[in-house]
Amino acid sequence: MRRAVLIAAAGLAAATGPAALAAGEPHHPGGTHGGAPAESGPGAPAPAGTLTIGMRGRLFSPSRITVLAGERVTWVNDDSTVHDVGADAGGGFDSGRLAPGASYARVLDAQGTYRYRCTLHRFMSGTIDVFALALAGPSGPVPAGRTATLSGRAPDGTSAVSIEALDVNGGAWRAVAEVPVARDGTFAARPTPARSATYRARAGELSSAPTRVGVAARLTAHPHRMGRASIEVQVSADPAQPGAAAVLQRYDRERFDWRPVARGRLDARSRATLRLRSARRERLRVVLPRGTGGFAPAASPALRVPATS
Amino acid sequence: MTRAATAIALALVLPLLAVGRAQARVHEHWIAAEPVHWRIAPNGRDAIHGRRLDPLTLRSDTVRYRACTKDFGEPLRRDPGQGIVGPLIRGRAGDRFVVHFMNSDQETGRAHSMHFHGVHYRFGSDGSYIPGFSGKGANVKPGEEHTYEFTAGRDSVGVWSYHDHSPSMESSIAGGLYGALSILRRGERRPDREFVSFLAQFGDYSSINGRAFVGNTPVLRAKVGERVQWDVLTLGDDFHTFHVHGHRWRRPDGVPEDTRTLGPAESFRVRWREDRPGTWLYHCHVESHMMNEMIGIYRVTR
């Protein structure tokens, strides 16, 4: 019971279990969550139709939006300090000082890219892309063989728009459809892309922002229990994705997230077998973090595997 | 008395004397301020509301405290529940502490320091910047080192924060440059599990140990029958109300509670013995903080 005087070692971290990886981060799968990574237009994390920009935390948010010419954009100072909104050279608007709670609105008529900043906070800036035509596609990849719905708006007086596509592997824009514009200015097109492609709408001089539509291969995955403590999952992709990396993921309840447990590659016949050591009940899926040949990331449906009986 | 009897008598008596005069320890640590690319919510979502988060807001380049081996040989591995928080420094009343600090923040090029709450130290180990008064320990430049020394008195029993108090303190604290000191009474039983939860704003989010939303915040674990100690601290601008589902503890005056308020730089520890299994939420009960994500899960199993 006698205690000698000790020089204790460094790093008396709480001893509650295995230490984390040196990087300090839980390993995170690349690619999809729940089957569908979000797709969006050029640099626009904001969904189509966002017309209000906040300033909380001294940041314009969303920092980049896409709007239709003639729409009103409103900046709201929901921060606790004074800001202003000033267009960079040629932009032609300046809100003057905005106290917390104040707002400023502006209608942007001409197609183009507008950069603006708060003159009081040098790092606070944003961008607005104004297009004369608006076009939006699906928010996630479309399974191969299905139609993708593109919808848009055109200014008054436009009777029809041309839908153009750019294949993901390059080339030139080519017209794929001519669609009429309804009286309220809306239009829709339903192409069936064979591979991921970018679309835009055109009417004379006017053009919309490009919108990307990802096409994903359909993944089928079949799990089998092998022996007491092992699960084997056979996966195949259609259209074929030979050489694509495949990741077996398990749903981790504590992380509320899918986590990778095994990796492989689809063979020349677009198939792979992935294995997991587990006797427990599992919820699994297989994802392709990157498609090959212009296909988008893909995910199989979730599989329930009962515990070893 | 025979020799054998004397030996037996001494063998019985000496340990009793030793307990009465148990010697204080000296704890020596090597802690660096290191730059880190931090992910606030690795699972990218608010799982409870099924909401995807804007990836641009979920990463930040910041600085954290990192324990290292002697003479800053190697960084030590971090505990999974530690998050951005620095190493837990433990000891007992009467112990002495020698903390070697190195500023390895070549990224921002800012000075940093260490300032300890609750313990006894001379001014040279205060670590807070007062132009014209404070010395190098309050303004340790990148590449430089400083050694802080302090002792834990009887009035240091409890849990306290330590953090940067250099000229860059405000941005450091907003970025997670803090940690906890846990001092037990002499002879106090050490808990089977000790959890450290720092409730603080981090970037756009309300965080626990620099993480936000369930699945990203520390998943804490204990077994039925274990004695648990929960150290709760906060730094920054806000008040928080710490609450754990399925549990309650007593205030110092004996009144039971299940939620306690703390303001910037306040801290407390609560203890209980686990008596049943469950998956319990722990969170700040300020509604906007809980929704914006100061919430985690605590799993008790048999």
pLDDT digits (tens, 9 = 90+) for B235-255: 999 999 999 999 999 998 999
Separation between Cα atoms, residue A10 and residue B72, nearest integer Å: 9
Look at residue A57 and give its three-state secondary structure.
helix
**pLDDT at res. A161:** 94
Q: Do B14 and A9 lie within an 8 Å CB cutoff?
A: no
**pLDDT at res. B195:** 98
Report the residue of chain B nearest A5, measured CA to CA.
B25
What is the per-residue pLDDT across B172-229, written as a single tens digit (0 to 9) for each?
999 999 999 999 999 999 999 999 999 999 988 999 999 999 999 999 999 999 999 9
Decide if pLDDT at A21 tops 60: no
**pLDDT at res. B14:** 63
Take residue B76 and report the two structure tokens written for it: 């030590």
**pLDDT at res. A219:** 94
What is the per-residue pLDDT across A114-149, written as a single tens digit (0 to 9) for each?
999 998 987 888 999 888 888 989 988 998 989 999
Decide if pLDDT at A44 tops 50: no
**pLDDT at res. A224:** 94
**pLDDT at res. A163:** 95
Separation between Cα atoms, residue A253 and residue B215, nearest integer Å: 8
Shortest distance, CA A72 to any CA of chain B (angstroms): 24
B42 touches chain A (CB under 8 A): yes
Calculate what percentage of chain A has a pLDDT beyond 70.
83
Name the band, by pLDDT with cuts 50, 70 and 90, for residue A185.
confident
Separation between Cα atoms, residue A17 and residue A258, nearest integer Å: 22
Name the band, by pLDDT with cuts 50, 70 and 90, for residue B78.
very high
- Cis peptide leading into A239, omega within 30 of 0? yes
What is the per-residue pLDDT across B263-281, written as a single tens digit (0 to 9) for each?
999 999 999 999 999 999 9
What average pLDDT does chain B have? 93
What's the rounded mean pLDDT across residues A49-73?
84
Contact, B135 vs B124, CB < 8 A?
Answer: yes
Residue with tokens 């694509």: A244
Take residue A209 and report the two structure tokens written for it: 């922002």
Run of H or E residues at B15: helix B3-20
- Strand order through the sheet with B267-273: B205-208, B193-202, B227-234, B267-273
Decide which of A33 and A309 is more confident.
A309
Decide which of B143 and B56 is more confident.
B143
Chain A residues touching B41 at Cβ < 8 A: none
B15 touches chain A (CB under 8 A): yes
Calculate what percentage of chain A has a pLDDT beyond 90.
53
Calculate the dihedral angle through the C-alpha atoms of A25, A30, A34, A37, rounding to the nearest 10 degrees.
120
Separation between Cα atoms, residue A128 and residue A66, nearest integer Å: 6
Say how many C-beta atoms besides its own lie within 10 A of residue B278's C-beta.
Answer: 13
Closest CA to A35 of A142, A130, A183: A142
What's the rounded mean pLDDT across residues B280-302?
92
Chain A residues 20-49 with CB within 8 Å of chain B: 20, 22, 24-26, 28, 33, 38, 45
Chain B residues 178-207 with CB within 8 Å of chain A: 193-196, 204
Chain A residues touching B214 at Cβ < 8 A: 256
Where residue B156 falls (left for φ over 0; alpha for ψ -120 to 50; beta otherwise) is alpha
Run of H or E residues at B270: strand B267-273
